[in-house]
Chain A
Amino acid sequence: MFVAKSIAADHKDLIHDVSYDFHGRRMATCSSDQSVKVWDKGDDGEWRCTASWKTHSGSVWRVTWAHPEFGQVLASCSFDRTAAVWEEIVGESNDKQRGQSHWIKRTTLVDSRTSVTDVKFAPKHMGLMLTTCSADGVVRIYEAPDVMNLSQWSLQHEISCKLSCSCISWNPSSSRAHPPMIAVGRDDSNVTYSGKVQIYEYNENTRKYAKAETLMTVTDPVHDITFAPNLGRSFHVLAIATKDVRIFKLVPLRRESANSSGPTKFEVQVMAQFDSHNSQVWRVSWNITSTLLASSGDDGCVRLWKANYMDNWKCTGILRGDGSPVNGSGHAAPLSAVGVPGAAQMLVGATSAGRKKAQLMPG
């Protein structure tokens, strides 16, 4: 791996989240400077900032894109106890010439009494639904019944998880075999309610979300959680960032009788566990085909994990800061210091400072 490009994000404070849009042509960044910036990738492959605006009155923790079927829509959540929905409006022609676009606030969701720690859109087959979780332990699911009018959102469900929630993840599967399912991670240190990951499932009959499973073996604070893309499997795969990286397999058990109500029961297996970070793990995320999992930890590294065809997991790459300071003018150290690939290395993969990759040809 190598660093292909570095973009000066120009935030005045720490970046907390970066989010690609569905097609990978736009990017949103959010920061403790209370603003969100939107970047567009031009035909020349260069990234340009096309919008930058103040979104909250506190640090913005997360920013996320809605599916492009709903237009150009962003959601952000913040320490200021609110989440907000933003829509891009097509500007005047001189704006387009200047390469600027405008985003306007469609709604502010103020139900939370504490910092809103995560915000995610539900899978598109459920309609335009937004979910938040807060340090007050409540997961809130909102819906915009009229997708042409994004200023109307109604709070459809409130799920109380009792203690501080840090992350949520929707099961992306749109298969009719699986009802809508959401996983919630908690980062409290309570010992009584020790299972820190809970899975809720939507029940068609009661029209409510009910708890389907608590992962009792996860007893340390959970910082991130993410379902893998489904790939037509009958079971679900869930990755968790806690004191280590853990991947769970949830196999739905067949119901005893056709009429039995209540949420699905699962057989829970641990597919893999990695403690290479040797410290708290803060983020986990799957790539689009769920063949790679990336994790970020207290050791300052991002690690990539891959399973081979025998389902044996291995770490296939590590990213780490080089420890050099940003120099006074605010520019990164020259890129030539980091591996730039030659044509032959291309097939092998660039070697970078640190590890000598096994060479194929002798001498």
Chain B
Amino acid sequence: MEEVDVEPSTTLIPSAGFHRKHLGFEWGPGDLLVYETNYKLQGPRSAGSPFVHIVRRDEDICSPILRKLFNESHLIFVGLQKIKEDIPSKNKKSQFVSISKNYRSVIRACMEELQQNVSILLAIELIWNLCEVLFIDTAPAGSLLLHLLDWVRLHKSDVDARAREVLQSDSPAQHQSYWDVVRNTKKKLKSHHMTPLTLELVTFIKHCHYTYCRTQTLTEFEVKWRHWHEECDRCLQENTFASNRHLETICKILVGDEDTLLEQKELLSTWYHFLVTRLLFTHPTIKPPDLHYYAQSSMNMFLGPRASPEPLDIILLSAFEFDLHQVIKDCSIALNNWWFVAHLTDLLDHCKLLQSHNLHFGSNLREFLVLEYASGLFTHHSLWQLAVDYFDHCPEFGRVYLELQIERVPLDTERKAIKVLRICEDRQMSEQVRSICKIMAKRALRNNRLGSALSWSIRAKDAAFATLISERFLQDYSNKGSFTDLDLLDNLGPAMLLSDRLTFLGKYREFHRLYGEKRFSEAARLLLSLMTAKIAPRSLWMTLLTDALPLLEQKEVIFSVDQTYELMSCLEDCFSSVFQDEDIESTKTELLRLALARNLTMAIVKEGTIET
């Protein structure tokens, strides 16, 4: 079995390689950076202006029409994965066939839109269709050829249609299918003497071509056909048509004489067309295992001794030989993009065909190809989202590939970051979630957007960073006298508990809010608890006590006796341990002491008074 022989292609880098010996490189997302350099670290100094070249492998994901192919096939792929295992195999088969046809119709839709340069898509659809006929939509006994006939007809008209557009030829002879040949010869037959045999011929042609296998059982048909074939043969031997060359040719064709068929090469145009024709006239009830012999010989006969088969021919031949592995392998090599082999192999794997063809690595092969395809999608700015589903359906490596690649998706906007996050969160990729949130938090902090930084830290569950940002908030407050991002701070909820400093920040803001709403006793209680419950850092106690002053100076008594005693002890604690800056602090301390003392007296009086 010949292999498709491919040498690695060489790409030339402009203005490189003249002075310098080496090419440096760096992998990028979907591309390779290449530049001139010299690793030997010596060498002539260059006055020139060096370049960095961006080299790409797959440009096809950028074409908008192929993007449509990728989008639509993604839907089909996901639908295929969802087909339940426990459906009876008969129903499954019809579903697989319809999926195969869906894929092909997507390819055809793309061909319609592309207009030019569709030869690769044509080839893909040709191969896919053949695989569908031979492997997926396996025909009942004896009717294989019927399907192959449909296959050839469909593609002949494809090629003809395209050729017609390009050539704009007027001559009808160029575009006749061999059905037309037969129809024409029928007409010619009718104009000659109607001998019993010619009548039978005509009848048979009519019969055979239009009711093939539909009204008769296989054995009935075979018997009839064999009988007729022998009759034809005998006519030729007896030179019945010696007088009329046309009729003789027709008879030879009907008998399947290869040389005569080959004379019609132009009409047949491809060796597989020849193959199907030949089989129709010599072996209409051919069974799959016998196909390969005729395929190989047909190709050799058609191409002749001097022409060598093209990669497409080899792939088709492998298909006729039912060598699935070879088909996939050769397609992988001949096509640079993994779309075709990934989707086809996936479908074949679902049909359990990879195992039955005795490949040890059955589903490994499928996963390998799907991973390759999806990895290629990941470098695209919007198609990467399709890739996620593909990775989800690769049980062995899908998750780790996704983890690796999703981290690299550029987080251009908050919206995009959230989209990426949701994907990670849905799959419990906690490390990736943490990392992405951290990156966003850091970026926000660099740009002094404290509120954004804080909410990202909370989402990252990063206590240390949350503490850091809380301190910045507090610093800001002491510099400006007010809080920013009130919405965020007021609605922290249980997230507040992530770090002590954050809890303090939240509660402190709550104190200010309560004070603003004139809910003084609640505010007072909260303020006190911030110190007694040690939520507030010591360094801020003076600030808190200072915040208590306006509450102490209200006409109404807010702090109770006990609370006042507590405040006093906090003040003493504070004074002794924290500040040595005596001038300022002693004034403030005096003020506080006075206020506290006054409050105490009023509180004692208030609590001592019995309401009558």
Contacts and interface: CB of A to CB of B under 8 A. Distances in A.
Contacts, number: 329
B59 interface: yes
Secondary structure at the A interface, as helix, strand, loop or mixed, is loop
Contact of B7 (A326, A352, A353, A355): A355
Contacts of A11: 49-50
A361 B397 CA distance: 35
A263 interface: no
A322 B12 contact: yes
Given A3-B53, A349-B336, A359-B311, A302 B442 contact: no
Secondary structure at the B interface, as helix, strand, loop or mixed, is mixed
A2 B18 contact: no
Given A326-B48, A354-B12, A288 B408 contact: yes
Contacts of A8: 49, 51
A287 B27 contact: yes
A338 interface: yes
- Chain A: number of interface residues, binned into ranges: 35 or more
B120 A337 contact: no
Contacts of A1: 9, 11, 32, 55-57
Contact of A360 (B11, B36, B63, B334): B334
A298 to B, nearest CB: 7
Given A29-B52, A346-B337, A24 B13 contact: no
Given A300-B22, A352-B9, A7 B17 contact: no
B375 interface: yes
Nearest to B13: A321
A283 B13 contact: no
A321 to B, nearest CB: 2
A90 B444 CA distance: 11
B213 to A, nearest CB: 32
B114 A14 contact: no
Contacts of B49: 8-11, 326, 330
Q: Which of A2, A291, A361 has the most CB of B within 10 A?
A: A361
B404 to A, nearest CB: 6
Q: Which of A18, A291, A358 has the most CB of B within 10 A?
A: A358
Interface string A99-124: 00000000000000000000000001
Interface stretch (B131-139, B180-188, B360-368): B360-368
Interface string A10-41: 11111111111011110101011000000000
A286 interface: yes
Given A72-B446, A354-B10, A361-B120, A320 B375 contact: no
Q: Which of A12, A294, A326 has the most CB of B within 10 A?
A: A326
Interface string B369-413: 101100100000000000000000000010011001101111110
Contact of B8 (A68, A298, A318): A318
Nearest to B397: A231
B356 interface: no
B367 to A, nearest CB: 8
B21 A300 contact: yes
Given A346-B59, A361-B120, A15 B35 contact: yes
A360 B311 contact: yes
A199 to B, nearest CB: 23
Given A23-B410, A321-B36, A361-B123, 20 more contacts: A7-B52, A10-B49, A14-B37, A23-B408, A25-B410, A288-B404, A298-B22, A318-B9, A319-B11, A321-B23, A326-B15, A337-B14, A343-B63, A346-B58, A347-B121, A347-B337, A348-B120, A350-B59, A352-B11, A357-B9
10 tightest CB-CB pairs across the interface, nearest first? Answer: A321-B17, A321-B16, A349-B336, A344-B117, A346-B60, A24-B29, A282-B39, A309-B368, A322-B12, A330-B49
16 contacts: A3-B13, A7-B51, A10-B49, A14-B20, A20-B29, A285-B25, A289-B371, A302-B23, A319-B11, A319-B25, A321-B16, A332-B14, A334-B14, A352-B10, A358-B333, A360-B334
